[in-house]
Chains A and B, each alone.
Chain A
């Protein structure tokens, strides 16, 4: 019994194949900032890391997040509702973003 126990305890555990860890989605290179100037196609921003310039690509998509009202929302629009963690209600809805079909990329 003692030798059997010693054998059990000193035995090497077989390796177990685990599913591969999820690969993070390709990181999107996002810059947040405040417009300092736009000269030609060069957009200069002030960011937390300091001034940054980017070139507006000829095919760059320019969009704006603008206030709207419920009366402007139509059936068929896409809606994203955002929330932040909240101590009492777990999540607190902070905003709603409407994406009309004309500027909706995904889902189609």
Chain B
């Protein structure tokens, strides 16, 4: 092999090496991607601040109450003949009652409300068998 050919081969090897290193250096850091909380509820309006009672109950499924989850919440600002308007951080919402919805009220009760057959939801104190609060959801 002539010395000239060897020189060209050496130059080609150096160029190839530099190109290889340059190619690796060009590899970007990738795009930052958001992290998702896969255990989050499927629907959760940003402006809804769900109220809870002294016992910690909202009245709906998130705290073991009625079917469904609270999607509209706020302080009642007006009561009409067939509607209620609430003020929430995102603005006012008017809910028209069609008669299909169940209207309930959370009230303080004493132990006499815990009658046999009553449906209840109990929130236990963490790590104990003590009930911190009890909500009677239906009576027989």
Interface residues of A (CB under 8 A from B): 1-14, 16-22, 24, 26, 28-38, 43, 45, 53-57, 59-70, 72-85, 91, 93-100, 102-107
Contacts and interface: CB of A to CB of B under 8 A. Distances in A.
Contacts of A28: 56, 63, 123
Contacts of B66: 65, 82, 94-95, 97
Contacts of B133: 60-63
Contacts, number: 333
A104 B52 CA distance: 6
B134 A43 contact: yes
Nearest to B66: A95
A12 B27 contact: yes
Interface of B: 15-17, 19-37, 39-40, 43, 49-61, 63-79, 81-82, 84, 86, 95, 97, 100-111, 113-126, 129-138
Contacts of A60: 130-134
Contacts of A4: 19-20, 22-23, 26
Contacts of A8: 23-24, 26-27
A21 B35 contact: yes
A31 B82 CA distance: 35
Contacts of B53: 61, 63, 99, 103-105
Contacts of B123: 28-30
A32 B37 contact: no
B76 A77 contact: yes
A80 B135 contact: no
B122 A43 contact: yes
B76 A78 contact: yes
B78 to A, nearest CB: 7
Give the residue among B34, B79, B81 with the most A Cβ atoms within 10 A. B79
